Amino acid sequence: MGYYDDHYEPNGQTRRKRRSGSFVSALVGAILGGLLVLMSIPTLSRWDVLPYEVVPPQGGEEEREGENGAPPIQQSVSVDVTTAVTKAIDQASDAVVGVVNIQAAGFWSQGGEAGVGSGVIYKKAGGRAFVVTNHHVVENASQLEVSLKDGTRVPAKLLGSDVLMDLAVLEIDAKHVKKVAQFGNSDTVKLGEPVIAIGNPLGLQFAGSVTQGIISGTNRTVEVDLDQDGTPDWNAEVLQTDAAINPGNSGGALVNMKGQVIGINSMKIAQEAVEGIGFSIPINAAIPIISDLEKYGQVRRPYMGVELRSLSDIPSYHLKATLHLPSNVTEGVAVIQVVPMSPAAQAGLQQFDVIVALDGEKVRNVLDLRKYLYTKKSVGEQMEVTFYRDGKKRTITMKLAPESY
């Protein structure tokens, strides 16, 4: 009949069996057809199946097709990279030199090179060239040499050094010098401004090394213990940067993007958990010190002629029993000794007087007094001193003399 189900057909075969035979025939036909199609397609190369254009490598090497089917030839490509950073380095790097500290042999030492730091050539005049570096770079040297950028080493003469500001000035023959540094204005430096440190980290084998960073802080104050007695002797105002400053960078240049020196690298916090904190002496603060060292061999600071001690370092018993201070006076500076014929002696200051103000500016400790005296006053100026004597408040005026008075 015309309809079949799973029951027996007249010839004894089921409908399912007939369907199975039809499926096998169709599958075999499809396979044979596919093979015939594939045999009729020409062979494809690796280039025929790429749906995009092949572009030669960029940035350094370029492929050029070889002759007579030879493999491609790699050709070098020269790239000239010029940025504000490279221009600034070109402007300043030739003026940054190495400073070699040579010490004579002693009973406990063999002598020779005691250390290497950095320096900056800042001036040429009268056949001489002048180099600024750090005091601790040249300290205790019996002989000094300056290593120029081309490796030439020339003898250097120490003109003067200042432990308080950690600065020193050297003199060399100008015939060896091709370029001097240009000083910038450290007072206009902005937080986050990009800067470059140039120097000789770890010695002359890494001479002229360059690191880049930013200004991390302006007008930072760092306590300095000059005599290593555990008590700060000076508050150094510095620029803070995260540009890497390592041993040997001391005395080198901190440079802005114009290639101008805005600081002389000096200190680095070297603690296990602290990285990226370097300090530089602002060039505006350094310039008057450099000028004095070049001209006089020392810094001409105002001089009072007193030995002082902060009240915070004096036992409370002596505040009343010895100094006879009112109970409300807890800050100031006690006069421990007065140098005869000094400005302080001539003005009438005496032992155990307690200074509490200079020109009306409050003085809390010895650091405050030194800071005001050295940064706000000049040799020959008058200064009003407010102090306590035997419990009574008094005021005198003294004329400041040079420190070498």
Taking only the tens place, the pLDDT of each residue in 234-264 is: 888 899 999 988 888 899 999 999 999 999 9
7 assigned to active site: no
The pLDDT mean for the chain works out to 82
- What is the rounded distance in angstroms from the CA atom of residue 305 to the CA atom of residue 173? 39
342 assigned to active site: no
Contacts of 145 (CB under 8 A, 6+ apart): 99, 100, 102, 153, 154, 155, 156
DSSP state for residue 174 in the 8-state scheme? G
Cβ-in-10-Å burial (0-12, 13-18, 19+) of 113 comes to middle
pLDDT tens, position by position, 151-164: 899 999 999 999 99
Give which of 166, 168, 148 is closest to 158, Cα–Cα: 168
- Sign of the C-alpha dihedral computed for residues 281, 284, 289 and 291 taken in this order: positive
- Give me the numbers of helices (H) and strands (E) for the chain, helices first please: 7, 22
- What is the rounded distance in angstroms from the CA atom of residue 394 to the CA atom of residue 386? 6
Structure tokens at 161: 């050094």
- What pLDDT shows up at residue 229? 78
Cβ proximity of 377 and 402 under 8 Å: no
Report, in angstroms and rounded to the nearest whole number, the Rg of the chain calculated over CA atoms. Answer: 40
Cβ proximity of 95 and 174 under 8 Å: no
Query: How far from the centroid of its chain's Cα atoms is residue 185's Cα?
Result: 17
Please tell me which residue in 94, 162, 166, 353 is annotated as part of the active site: 166
- What is the rounded distance in angstroms from the CA atom of residue 14 to the CA atom of residue 23? 15
- What is the rounded distance in angstroms from the CA atom of residue 307 to the CA atom of residue 340? 12
Q: Is the pLDDT of residue 292 over 80?
A: yes
- What pLDDT shows up at residue 56? 47
pLDDT band at 121 (very low <50, low <70, confident <90, very high): very high
DSSP H or E stretch at residue 319? helix 316-321
- What is the rounded distance in angstroms from the CA atom of residue 5 to the CA atom of residue 10? 12
pLDDT tens, position by position, 88-100: 999 999 999 999 9
- What pLDDT shows up at residue 287? 96
Give which of 367, 297, 383 is closest to 331, Cα–Cα: 367
pLDDT tens, position by position, 162-221: 999 999 999 999 998 989 999 999 999 999 999 999 998 877 777 788 999 999 999 888
pLDDT tens, position by position, 335-385: 999 999 999 999 999 999 999 999 999 999 998 999 899 989 999 999 999
- What pLDDT shows up at residue 46? 40
pLDDT band at 106 (very low <50, low <70, confident <90, very high): low
Please tell me which residue in 250, 266, 280, 310 is annotated as part of the active site: 250
Query: How far from the centroid of its chain's Cα atoms is residue 102's Cα?
Result: 26
Distances in Å between the Cα of 404 and the Cα atoms of 158, 326, 337, 345 are 19, 36, 18, 16
Please tell me which residue in 136, 186, 216, 242 is annotated as part of the active site: 136
Distances in Å between the Cα of 334 and the Cα atoms of 3, 31, 229, 353, 381 are 127, 110, 19, 6, 23
Q: Is the pLDDT of residue 76 over 50?
A: yes
Q: Would residue 228 be called left, alpha or beta, if left means φ above 0 and alpha means ψ between -120 and 50 degrees?
A: left
- What pLDDT shows up at residue 67? 60
pLDDT tens, position by position, 38-66: 455 454 444 343 333 334 444 445 555 55
Summarize the confidence of residues 290-306 as an average pLDDT: 94
